[in-house]
Amino acid sequence: MVSIDGLTDLWERLLGAQPDPPPLLVLLTAVVALVVVSTRLPWRIARNAITIAHEGGHALVALLTGRKLRGIRLHSDTSGLTLSAGRPTGPGMILTLLAGYLAPPLVGLAGAWLLGGNRITLLLWVAVALLLAMLVMIRNVFGVLSLLVTGGVVLAVSWYATPQVQAAFAYTGVWFLLLGGVRPVVELQRLRSRGRMPASDADQLAGLTPLPAFFWVTVFALVNLATLVAGALLLAGPMLTDTGLTG
Taking each helix axis from N to C end, the angle separating 163-180 and 91-116, rounded to the nearest 10 degrees, works out to 150
pTM assigned to the model: 0.90
Cβ neighbours of residue 71 closer than 8 Å, sequence gap 6 or more = 82, 83, 137, 138, 139
CB atoms inside a 10 Å sphere around CB 172:
19
Confidence check: pLDDT of 1 > 60: no
**197 pLDDT band (50/70/90 cuts)?**
confident
Confidence check: pLDDT of 246 > 60: no
Would you call 72 helix, strand, or coil by DSSP?
strand
* Residue ranges covered by each domain of the chain: 20-52+103-241
Q: Which of 64, 49, 60, 65 is nearest to 82 (CA)?
A: 60
Signed CA dihedral, 198, 200, 204, 207: sign only:
negative
C-alpha–C-alpha distance, residues 31 and 25, integer Å: 10
> Looking at residue 20, what is its pLDDT?
82
Residue range 195-215: mean pLDDT, rounded: 93
Would you call 86 helix, strand, or coil by DSSP?
coil
Residue range 136-146: mean pLDDT, rounded: 96
More confident residue, 166 or 238: 166
> Looking at residue 5, what is its pLDDT?
55
Residue range 12-30: mean pLDDT, rounded: 81
DSSP letters spanning 1-43: ---HHHHHHHHHHHHSPPPPPPHHHHHHHHHHHHHHHHSHHHH
Q: If you average pLDDT over every residue of the chain, what do you get? A: 91
